[in-house]
Chain A
């Protein structure tokens, strides 16, 4: 038997490393304990997979270090009863079985720190095929056939960018991977790098060959230390084996590989800002034209794709463009990875073919809501995207169909919300994000997002004015039209979609000074329902401003003049006696 512990960032944060140490302390053959990356069932972390000698899997979930002894018993003595409570349920297993994994095909299966694990799984065969049996033009043609489009959000055809870079004059070209995954709520790129770094390297090398670049660069955000560590390790291993460097596979093609860590700036996800940052400057977007394909990194032709895009490349080369194109819809081919989070029961990474619906992801795979409140909306595409309301749950996952809602496919963040989420508050949250992340170069974004945020702050405080919605809309359209880069141009989307689908919530804030979701603290009041209050005094003791009075075992009262609406009483009450109004 061998033990594989899921050690993506999520797993580690949930305690996987403690579990590994505890298992190592048990009487188990050290060689039988290994790690893997992100299995994708983040809500069940830490996860320990036990394979018997015929490679049959027993998946143990929500494991703690205290379970180590029981697991050892299972491993050493085959005593399955010892781990009975830990075995994943059939229902939870569906989370994975209902997916179709291409980009994530090795994630949570192989050891990301060992190149052999990757090559044993068929890794680097596609690179060999491309370098030795195909011309760069042929590679581009296969990618064209596959219909692969940029997975970073915009959905631009990958072959087109590669071809443009290939056609660009000049000996010196760069192939750049954008791993500056900044959308809050998206973490599939992190998972790919942490769990299958060689897949990224292979995809990039194929891309470099296709465009004629001798230099490959990965720009990873600084918030992902584990990803950086595993990628560096993978680069070192691949270099040692001659997969990176001179005359790869004897093909005559050479390519070096560098990794650069970002330093905390969302705007560096924009390709020209990323290039500025790579050059060591402030990450302020450049004017386009010229496009990076003509003048990019060090003013040389450069091609930039994101992690998930590259993660599909090796598979496409191995299996053919047609196989990839067989999945999906007319305009959107292949699969897409989503990071499903929020108020959903099963959160984690979901890779499914294009053409499925939001309902498939959120309800069928995600298991629906984890709270008893109804589903309200799903936020897609982060700060550049929008909120899709419950009645559009059957929208098909397709660049065009999602775009028609006002949201975007985006990089794949899907944050599920229930009735307790205020949509004006949601818009404010994103504007706060973009305003903080605006590089400050162009007027529309620098000042426009700030002014939008101020208006939304006013509205959520109950200080909204008549005409604010119209003014917000006017400003939104102007920013979309006038901002210099994608960050600014898409910054209004969260506002526009919430106005489009939840205008009544805006109106309630402005006209009635009410927050229907009960989230905006300035617009709610906490009250104690006398019938339910047992007089336990817990709320009064938790109140930081002594606004709650009452004697023991008698119903308590909140002095609303004193109350600062911190919600501590609401959180602390065990009897549901405190209500928000």
Chain B
């Protein structure tokens, strides 16, 4: 045995061992991408470099042998720098998306591609569980979310984005119809967490912390939980029955709800802190913003959120027949469509830019118009004019679009001297909401008057008190934003309760350059929207406008997904190594070596644009299988892996042994799953012994939600069995 020191630890290794083998024996991690015991050492990736005292060069630990008294450092500054640059270079030439753009653009990082794909396969239960990893109220959010996911959906480069939000609502509705899924909770940790605010942020944090085994109580000032989902969203968009069911599931996990409890009146942050191990402040933004327009104090001028809450609580304010709503966002849409349903005859939306600049969802804008709403674009209220203290008319300044502003939208500028006056009975100001600052006077606020919370750790000025949602930092935003924060905050609080500190920043992932993606081979298929009530019916009632997807519609729509995210995401070795180092591959952005090539046979799919040229596939095909089905072609930057003459795999002697797929450290070679629509899933792999032609053989079986998705030969017998895919599956079913 040879004695050496690795990272200060005394290690023994048999003579002739490499440093890498010695480190592995001692359980010391050294990253590798091109190394595998099955084949000869190769030395391409250079990630296994280490520093040894007295040796000026870095050593590739996969080939350098141990020697007596050697002192090795596997994580020195020089080693880390070398690996970091190697990974940056590698990722700068790795043309692939780890996850789909829809997921990346979702503030909660919901695995949209995953559940859309599962729905396409009819796996509704699995889809729902996947959604619930990130969203505790999917039926509600699916209905109300302005779906940033769809804005990033690449399908719109073919025709229109996938109807992701409605598919989410579909999966959640299927779940609500029967025995709803209630997740198992971890054994109790004995830790107590208080959450102030039972809106989407508070409920989400409560749900995930409870699943983690903590004891959670939610305090809310209203009579029922739900926050803005309940008191800000009209019934016709989100029926309260749906919300109630979803909140009931959260309660079933073990969360304690305390309603009609107001911060400052019934308790303080400090008082909760005294009784709990952690407090999360998620009080939301409940005050309508002012427009600072003369006449706002007149009777008949309402805040948008106050108006909506009044209607929902059954004490709608008197709005008369002529109503003007100021603003262009979704709250404005909710207000104007609610006004229509309350029987107003003339409903105007006053907006200072044009339809194209409106932040509201396009569908909402269209549906409101169908219901009779009149848009007054390029107008801005100069004053609300009253008589006897009651609003009677609005003087509107006529605007035109000028130069683009910081947001990229063209800035509206007044047309001098041009005004218009419209007669109204009431005005609803829907231009935003603000935190009620006096509620949270115990906490430090930022310059905007919101709670100052750390963006990644969610900590506040009081130790052990965390804050999330509309009440914090940049102020009110959409529900899914608050939900994303709540999910990450739950993890941060969990770490805090364990005495740790968790950085919830999203680690590095690889993204394709949108400009380089070619869609020309994609067949056009129109987007499917769920049927809706006809305008003349819905404008008279608060019944839900959308009728939701049928199963057939949902599956068909989900099939349209382009499958942008990588199927090997969950077991990608390349990504795991990349995330270990603080890499910035964009420093070296440049030409990609390979164009996307698609080649598949019954088992294997090849995409050379993700290949990192570790050579494991080529070497294993040659050294282990002696098949030589694929080889390295060309040289230098443009080297690629391919069968001779660029033939498809099907026309080679490939016997589908799957060894190359198993060894591929990234998503360049993948084993297809048994699903008709391929989906990246966090499968569980187990090695199982089966019998092939009377011989014992080992196969690696991948399961998801209990279903077998892939069966990969895993020893000499199974690799040379010549069995078809179906025959392999029959072995384990």
Contact = CB atoms under 8 A, between A and B. Distances in A.
Q: When A and B assemble into the complex, do they touch directly, with CB atoms less than 8 Å apart?
A: yes
Interface of A: 265, 282, 286-289, 435-444, 446-451, 454, 471, 474-475, 478, 481-484
Nearest to A285: B43
Interface in B558-592: 587-588, 590-591
A267 to B, nearest CB: 8
B44 A441 contact: yes
Contacts of B57: 481
A437 B638 CA distance: 11
Contact of B64 (A289, A435, A443): A289
B635 A478 contact: no
A439 B636 contact: yes
B338 to A, nearest CB: 53
Given A451-B89, A484-B43, A478 B82 contact: yes
A443 B636 contact: no
Given A287-B60, A289-B65, A484-B44, A444 B85 contact: yes
B636 A440 contact: yes
Interface string B33-64: 00000000111111001000000011010111
Contact of A443 (B78, B86, B591, B632): B86
Interface in B44-102: 44-46, 49, 57-58, 60, 62-65, 78, 81-82, 85-86, 89-90, 92-93
A475 B85 contact: yes
B590 A482 contact: no
24 contacts: A287-B60, A438-B637, A439-B635, A440-B639, A441-B43, A441-B615, A442-B45, A443-B86, A444-B85, A444-B86, A447-B93, A447-B588, A448-B89, A449-B637, A450-B590, A450-B637, A451-B89, A451-B590, A454-B590, A471-B587, A475-B588, A478-B81, A482-B86, A484-B44
Contact of A446 (B58, B63, B588, B636): B636
B635 A282 contact: yes
B634 interface: yes
B705 to A, nearest CB: 38
B308 interface: no
Contact of A287 (B63, B612, B636): B63
Given A443-B86, A450-B591, A484-B60, 12 more contacts: A282-B635, A287-B43, A441-B613, A442-B44, A443-B45, A444-B46, A447-B90, A447-B92, A450-B637, A481-B58, A481-B82, A484-B44
Nearest to B47: A443
Nearest to A479: B85
Contacts of A436: 636
A128 B684 CA distance: 72
B29 to A, nearest CB: 19
Contacts of B64: 289
Nearest to B94: A447
Given A454-B590, A478-B82, A289 B63 contact: yes
Nearest to B84: A478
B635 A265 contact: yes
A437 B639 CA distance: 12
A440 B613 contact: yes
Contacts of A440: 613, 632, 634-639
Contact of B85 (A286, A446, A478): A478
B78 A435 contact: no
A282 B634 CA distance: 9
Interface string B613-633: 101000000000000000010
Nearest to A458: B590
A481 B60 CA distance: 11
Q: Is the interface of B mostly helix, strand, loop or mixed?
A: loop
Interface of B: 41-46, 49, 57-58, 60, 62-65, 78, 81-82, 85-86, 89-90, 92-93, 587-588, 590-591, 593, 612-613, 615, 632, 634-639
Given A265-B635, A437-B636, A481-B58, A443 B590 contact: no
Contacts of A439: 635-636
A478 B42 CA distance: 20
A562 B587 CA distance: 34
Given A474-B85, A482-B58, A482-B85, A443 B637 contact: no
A484 B46 contact: yes
A442 B60 CA distance: 12
A272 to B, nearest CB: 10
A526 to B, nearest CB: 30
A288 B86 CA distance: 20
Contacts of B635: 265, 282, 438-440
A475 B81 CA distance: 10
B634 to A, nearest CB: 7
A439 B587 CA distance: 24
Contacts of B590: 450-451, 454
Given A443-B89, A446-B613, A475-B588, A287 B637 contact: no
Nearest to B637: A450
A220 B635 CA distance: 20
Most chain B Cβ neighbours within 10 Å, of A287, A437, A439, A471? A287
A443 B46 contact: yes
Contacts of B632: 282, 440
Contacts of B612: 443
Given A447-B92, A451-B89, A442 B636 contact: no
B93 A442 contact: no
A438 B636 CA distance: 5
A276 to B, nearest CB: 12
B364 to A, nearest CB: 43
B92 A287 contact: no
A443 B44 contact: yes
A288 B82 CA distance: 19
A396 B612 CA distance: 44
A430 to B, nearest CB: 15
A182 to B, nearest CB: 14
Contact of A482 (B41, B49, B92, B639): B49
Contacts of B81: 478, 481
Contacts of A451: 89, 92, 588, 590
A554 B554 CA distance: 78
Contacts of A289: 63-65
A454 B44 contact: no
Given A440-B613, A447-B93, A454-B590, A482 B46 contact: yes
A481 B82 CA distance: 7
B67 to A, nearest CB: 11
Most chain A Cβ neighbours within 10 Å, of B42, B44, B92? B44
Nearest to A445: B636
Contacts of A449: 637
Contacts of B43: 286-287, 441-442, 484
A436 B612 CA distance: 18
A286 B42 CA distance: 7
A288 B410 CA distance: 63
A438 B634 CA distance: 11
A489 to B, nearest CB: 9
A443 B90 contact: yes
Contacts of B60: 287, 484
Nearest to B612: A443
Contacts of A448: 85, 89
Which 3 residue pairs spanning A and B have beta carbons closest together? A440-B639, A287-B43, A478-B85
B41 A287 contact: yes
Most chain A Cβ neighbours within 10 Å, of B90, B636, B638? B636
Contacts of B90: 443, 447
Nearest to A438: B636
Contacts of B58: 481-482
Nearest to A450: B637
Nearest to B64: A289
Contacts of B637: 435, 438, 440, 446-447, 449-450
Nearest to A448: B89
A474 to B, nearest CB: 7
B454 to A, nearest CB: 29
A373 B616 CA distance: 54
A435 B587 contact: no
Most chain B Cβ neighbours within 10 Å, of A435, A443, A448, A482? A443
